Amino acid sequence: MRKAFAQGLIRAAEEDERIVFLTGDLGFRVFDDFQRRFGPRYINVGVAEAQMMCAAAGLALEGWRPVAYSIASFATARAFEQIRISITYPRLPVLIVGAGGGFFYAHAGVTHHAGDDLGLMSLLPGMTVVAPGSGEELADLLPQIFRLSGPCYLRIGGFGEPAYPCAEPATLERARLLREGEDLALLTTGTLAGVALQALDVLAREGIRPIAYQVHTVKPLDLATLDGLAGRVRTLVIAEEHVPTGGLSAGVAHWATGRPDAPQVLRVGPPDALALGNPTLGRLRREVGCDVDGLVRACRQALDPGRRHRAGMAVAG
């Protein structure tokens, strides 16, 4: 996905001379071609994320279209006040990019974990929050993001995320249908989309066919798609690499509140806790149920209320 982002950034910079890239001393080799081709429009501010956000705000006020890039935990939590006051308050068109969102850097310890990045950015009024699942999806969304008139947070993964086939390109603010189905729906965001598709293949062999959507735009949510699902399914299974507060499941639960026709919302993801130590991403996903086996198990349990109760799955809404 980072390669797709670097390539998309170059294409955008060729078409729009206002695009300028700021990095917090990260992205070596990934953005070398951008630096070589655009020179002064590449700015390394050093290990100073808060200052980077203020610099991006200043550039935006002068008519530039800044892109501020860092590891997701540094780009959001470390610089939250500067984003809130300098970028969100004046509604400036700054693109904040968090690399390795969720638990991509699980092995690097809690300082590098970003299980709260989507929630932090969703708290900010006027902030668009996007979490693509593949390089191809990011390539579809990036030009649309550059047409926004206000700030945007973009969570990107790492390298080599598998592409997944879809009948239509990704459209900002609209959930992307991955598979048609019946009885229940499986919603994902970020790189869990690829995991979900593997789980759907396993479930299909058992005759279980959930409707599957990739919700790449966490804020604003695609309420029209949710409204449509309300009349078709009784249960939404939501898989997210994010704490329970502020992510996709929280947004869907808010939509469901007070709706008599709303499906039950079952969440699969990390608990309300820091992931201590330095586990691998695979191990962490397995422990919180966000691997293939975990998503298969969650969909089975969603169709069997008794089993779900015994398993102690999280229920929202």
Cα atoms in the 13 Å half-sphere on the side-chain side of 66: 25
Percentage of residues of the chain with pLDDT beyond 70: 96
- Tell me the per-residue pLDDT of 79-106, one tens digit each, with 9 for 90 and over: 999 999 999 999 999 999 999 999 999 8
> Which CATH number is 176-316's, of 1.10.10.10, 3.60.21.10, 3.40.50.150, 3.40.50.920?
3.40.50.920
Residue scoring higher pLDDT (86 or 309): 86
Same fold, 2-156 and 176-316: yes
Is CATH 3.10.20.340 what the domain over 2-156 is classified as, yes or no? no
Is the per-residue pLDDT at 315 higher than 50?
A: no
Is the per-residue pLDDT at 276 higher than 90?
A: no
Residue 184 contacts residue 299 (beta carbons within 8 Å): yes
Predicted pLDDT of residue 307: 47
CA dist list (Å): 141 to 40, 152, 200, 230:
26, 12, 25, 27
Is the per-residue pLDDT at 162 higher than 90?
A: no
- Tell me the per-residue pLDDT of 4-17, one tens digit each, with 9 for 90 and over: 999 999 999 999 99
Residue 313 contacts residue 298 (beta carbons within 8 Å): yes
Is the per-residue pLDDT at 312 higher than 50?
A: no
Range of lowest pLDDT (2-11, 72-81, 159-168):
159-168
Rounded to an integer, the average pLDDT of 212-241 is 96
CA angle at residue 252 from 174 to 260, to 5 degrees? 115
Is the per-residue pLDDT at 188 higher than 80?
A: yes
Predicted pLDDT of residue 314: 53
Residue 171 contacts residue 269 (beta carbons within 8 Å): no
Give the Cα separation of 275 and 82 in Å (integer).
Answer: 26
Residue ranges covered by each domain of the chain: 2-156, 176-316
Predicted pLDDT of residue 310: 40
Residue 135 contacts residue 128 (beta carbons within 8 Å): no
